[in-house]
Structure 1
Amino acid sequence: MRAQACEVLEDSSAPRLPFPLGVVSVDGKSLWTTHQGEVEGLEAVANDEEGRALWRLGALRAVLTSALAAPCLDLEFIGAKEGESPAFRQLLPRVVEAFGEHFGVVTADAGLTAAQNAALVRELGKHYCFGLKANQPTLHEYAMRAIASKQCPARSRTEERAHGQTVVRELWTHALTPDEVDFPGARTLLLVRQQHWDDEDNLRAEDYRYFVTSLDTTVFNFHQLLRLVRVHWGIENRHNWTLDVVLGEDARQPCRPTRTALEVVAWLRAMAFNLLACFRTRLPPQGRHLVEWTRACELLRDSLVHGRRQTALATPD
């Protein structure tokens, strides 16, 4: 898969988002959970509500979300009694060694927000943007107070239509002075408020999310910081969702329920996703949007089965 990813990254014509630095997003995803019987190579993690033993395998994924195709770069598998943070410290150095020239920022959800992980990112010469929740109570509460005390207009704002509603996202920031917080390399605290409004201007949903980052506005401007947060969420929308819904990762598993089989199939699915996603970004768009995933699957199948001539009208040179 490394050769496949390198080929994508070294293609200067591959569509990318307008960031000053490339962005790799890291996120965990379950591969297999069962109580049907012992799984070779896995330890039982716990018991379910009915007292039955559970076997579980997940994977931490590194995805280049600053590329429109969002290709997967690497995986680190996580057994039942293994944690995401130790997996992150195994995964990131490999990703930097193999693909470091193609990105400068690492994003992750609050589950990976830890001083040791932040220090590792900075030691490897990259910036981070990590989510903040109650697992970092001191820093989370400080961010809430510091940004609330500003009482100023949002630094950046976007508005778009999605699923019959208007989605408004706004960004507030707090620039940190050296040693203001005890977190390695922290330069800025972020608040993103997301609101969903119906066509009658009724507020249907509202969400507040906090972040800590080593970036400041000399590297990313306010609009780019707001977009960076949304790009991280893209690992769920563009990568994990596609693996589940289009490639059936959750619904279909190897015929032999062993850890080795699960890992091999996970690699194959990641490679299949990269191929499909890169093919999809090269198809003529449908208005302002990329071709639907199901249609991209059909066109790729026809191209592989019947040859390029059959899809020449649908696929650009």
Structure 2
Amino acid sequence: MCCLREVEDPRRPSNGTRHDFVEMLVIAMAAALSDCDTIEDIACWGRTKAPWLREFLVLKNGVPSEETFLRVFRALDPKQFEAAFRRWVAGVVGTLRGSVAVDGKTVRGSGSGGETAIHMVSAFATELGLVLGQEKVASKSNEITAIPELLKALYINGLLVSIDAMGCQKSIAHQITDQGGDYLLAVKGNQPTLLEALETEFIDQSGCDAVDRHGHARKSRGRIVGQIASVLPAQGIVDLADWPKCRTIGLVDSLRQVGDKESSFERRYYISSRELTAEQLAASVRSHWGVENRLHWVLDVSFGEDASAVRKDNAPQNLSLLKKIVLNLIRLDTADETKTSLRLKRKRAAWDDDVRLRILGLKPL
């Protein structure tokens, strides 16, 4: 919680602030952990749990109102909040291994009432299931501008950074390798010359022993998903001046069958600066798309992010980060050996003061 003290209070002291800024952030975090998804929920939970909160916080003027919480989250500098979050994650995680998936999500509820919905790009440590950082896509822009800003703030040395086709840009590939990381980029029509080269090479080499292939299939809840990954050396196929240190080109064919419905087929191409086997490519692609289930789906279903009616100023971005902080806190709770859903873990934190205290790590006054 010490990182929160590095975030500046956005309010003017001359206006006679009645509530401590850091205490407000702690209340919001504890409430979000305790299954509260809205500003109204946070304020109501804080008033209800005021006796418990006073064991750790002064609360000189009690718990702030819903309106006060909303004003603070609207005014709070999201860059400062995000920087404090990244420092906290770096401190608790230590040296990362494996891969980082970079992917975007629109916070749909923030677009109601005439407001444009915000779009957030997140970096997700696939092995740990933790969010490492987020960056808001600027108005009238897209992920191409947000991804470099997000990567700039992350330590990716030795990590494999996977990004979908929107991020398949020469400048991004250069940035990742300059920062000591490796890239795994999906290739689609936004890079037509590169895509044509990959398609042609896999057609030409389709019957050759040089192609390394790996098949994988799984069945779950009436759904069958099959995947065949193929890789070839990138030498002579990819221009290294454009795509630095590129070593592997890949092809992944995916087949999905749900019950008796007609099956769907999808073919994707990839380039990577890391020398990957077909099995490693398949695993990395599955890890990347796992961000949909382990982050985006969780934010929508367990945290009600898309249902949030908060739209003004910085509030949607700051509340999105608050929910990611709580998601990380729950996944970092190694003392909890129960194999329950994230939804139930939040409810347990709401019901049990000891569970909440353990996850938050608060110290009595």
Give the TM-score, by structure 1 length.
Answer: 0.75
CA distance in 1 between counterparts of 2:102 and 2:229 reads 22
In the alignment, structure 1 residue 117 sits paired with structure 2 residue 177: no
Q: Which has the higher helix share?
A: 2
- Whole-angstrom distance in 1 between the partners of 2:214 and 2:86: 37
Secondary structure of the 2:153 match is helix
2:312 matched residue in structure 1: 258
Equivalents in 2 of 1:234, 1:168: separation in Å? 15
The alpha-carbon deviation at position 179 of structure 1 amounts to: 6.8
Q: Which residue of 1 aligns with 2:271?
A: 212
The residue aligned with 1:194 is: 254
Deviations 1:35-63 (A, max 9, x none): 624x5xxxxxxxxxxxxxxx232111111
Contact 1:56–1:79 (8 Å) recurs in 2: no
Match of 2:225 among 150, 167, 170: 167
Give the Cα–Cα distance (whole angstroms) in 2 for the partners of residues 247 and 309 of structure 1: 17
Q: Closer, same or farther in 2 for the Cα pair 1:309/1:91, shift >3 Å?
A: closer
**Cα distance, 1:80 vs structure 2:** 2.2
Would the alpha carbon gap of residues 169 and 282 (structure 1) be closer, same or farther in structure 2, given more than 3 Å must change? farther
**Distance verdict in 2 for CA 1:107–1:139, change over 3 Å:** same
Normalized per residue, the structure richer in strand is 1
Picking from 81, 95, 103, the partner of 1:27 is 103
Residues 57 and 180 of structure 1, relative CA distance in 2, 3 Å threshold: closer
Q: Which residue in 2 is equivalent to 1:47? A: none
CA shift digits 1:136-185 (9 cap, x unpaired): 11111211121122224761121211231322111111211157434233
Segment of structure 1 superposing worse, 156-165 or 244-253: 156-165
Structure 1: distance between partners of 2:145 and 2:195: 22
Match of 2:354 in 1: 307
Deviation of residue 239 (structure 1)? Answer: 0.4
d(CA) in 2 for partners of 1:82 and 1:310?
Answer: 41
Please name the residue that 1:108 is paired with.
Answer: 163
SS at match of 2:180: coil
Q: In the alignment, what sits opposite 2:35? A: none
Q: Does 1:91 align with 2:150?
A: yes
Which amino acid letter does the alignment assign opposite residue 195 of structure 1? L
Deviating beyond 6 angstroms after TM superposition, the runs of 4 or more aligned structure 1 residues are none
Counterpart of 1:134, as a letter, is G
Q: Contact between 1:156 and 1:170, CA under 8 Å: does it hold in 2?
A: yes
Structure with the larger RCO, 1 or 2 (CA within 8 Å, 6+ apart): 2
Q: Retained in 2: the 8 A contact 1:63–1:72?
A: yes
Structure 2 spans left out of the alignment, 5+ residues:
1-84, 359-365
Given that 1:118 and 1:185 are in contact with CA atoms closer than 8 Å, whether structure 2 keeps it comes out as: no
Residues 294, 280 of structure 1: alpha-carbon distance in 2 compared, 3 angstrom cutoff: farther
Change (3 A) 1:309 1:180: closer
Corresponding position: 1:267 with 2:321: yes
1:107-138 deviations in Å (ceiling 9; x for gaps): 11101111011011111110000111111111
SS where residue 228 of structure 2 aligns?
A: strand
- Identify unmatched segments of 5+ residues in structure 1: 40-54, 286-290, 312-317
Q: CA deviation at 1:227?
A: 0.2
- What RMSD, in angstroms, separates the aligned Cα atoms of the two structures? 2.8
Counterparts of 2:227 and 2:263 in 1: how far apart (Å)? 14
Tell me the CA shift for residue 301 of structure 1. Answer: 2.9
Distance 2:263 2:86 in 1: 43
Aligned to 1:42: none
Between the aligned partners of 2:127 and 2:132, the Cα distance in structure 1 is 12
